Amino acid sequence: MSYSILNYSIYIFFGALPSILWLQFYLRKDVKPEPKLMILKVFFLGILATVPAIFLETAFFEKINTLNLSEPFILFLNMFLGVALVEEFLKFFVIKEMVLDNPEFDEPVDAMIYMIVAALGFAAGENLLILFPLVNSGIWEELFEISLLRFLGATFLHALSSGIIGFFIGISFFEKEKREKLIFQGLCFATILHGFYNFSIIKMEKGLKMISAFFLLMTAAVFISFGFKKLKRMAGVE
């Protein structure tokens, strides 16, 4: 029994570690740190958002498979709408319900911070769902490999794609009448990034897969870095 608990503890640690490392990195972007309790709430709600994601994605896949569509089109719909849009919307929904009307949400850059926190919680939830079936396998090398790959790939992707949404929410601080339109644009860009990343790692050949995924992540990372600087400059905060 104690051995099993230890196993689960180790797997939980490595499942959450990629998100925690990225969380530490991005929290430093905030000149005025957010309340720790609020960060924890958003992070854990991000984890919980993986539950409806599973049901929504499964229902979408099952529905699409009943339609008389070509295999490439079904793949496109599954990657961009069934996975990317569902996940990006659920991460945004956490922020919509928890943050947008909260008095602690008082700076444009907060939007990017909270969206990234929710995304990293979601990524941690995904990591745990992937790792838990391996708990009793004793394949420690696979645990380390998956954790590292998720740190460099999927976890980073979730942070970046949601950060894009956060950037557009942050812009809406200065264009309040366009908030809904800006959020829609952010969701579209995040979904496109997420969808193309999914396509690159699933359908492309190994060498091209690595190059394409790296290019997408680095391009998004540059945009997010620019986004933080732009929002701080617009708010008169350096």
Identify which has the larger pLDDT, 15 or 220. 220
Inter-residue contact 23 to 123 (CB < 8 Å): no
- Cβ neighbours of residue 238 under 8 Å, at least 6 residues apart? 31, 232
* Residue 74 confidence (pLDDT) above 80: yes
Q: How confident is the model at residue 17 (pLDDT cuts 50, 70, 90)?
A: confident
Rounded to an integer, what distance in angstroms lies between the CA atom of residue 55 and that of residue 162? 21
Res. 32: pLDDT tops 90:
no
Residue 91 to residues 104, 122, 226: CA-CA distances in angstroms? 19, 7, 22
pLDDT the model gives residue 61: 93
The answer to whether 109 touches 30, Cβ cutoff 8 Å, is yes
pLDDT for 19: 87
Tokens of 192: 């496109």
Both structure tokens of 63: 């529905």
Give the gyration radius of the chain's Cα atoms.
18
User: Taking the model in full, what pTM does it have?
Assistant: 0.91
- Which pLDDT band holds residue 203 (cuts at 50, 70, 90)? confident
Q: CB count, 10 Å around CB of 179? A: 15
**How large is the average pLDDT for residues 87-93?**
97
CB 17 within 8 A of CB 128: no
Q: Take residue 198 and report the two structure tokens written for it.
A: 């999914």
Question: What is the residue whose two structure tokens read 């050949």?
Answer: 205
State yes or no: pLDDT of 20 exceeds 60. Answer: yes
Q: What is the pLDDT of residue 133?
A: 67
Q: Return the pLDDT at 27.
A: 87
103-132 pLDDT per residue, tens: 878 889 999 999 999 999 999 999 888 877
Question: Is 23:46 a contact under the CB 8 Å cutoff?
Answer: no
More confident residue, 112 or 202: 112
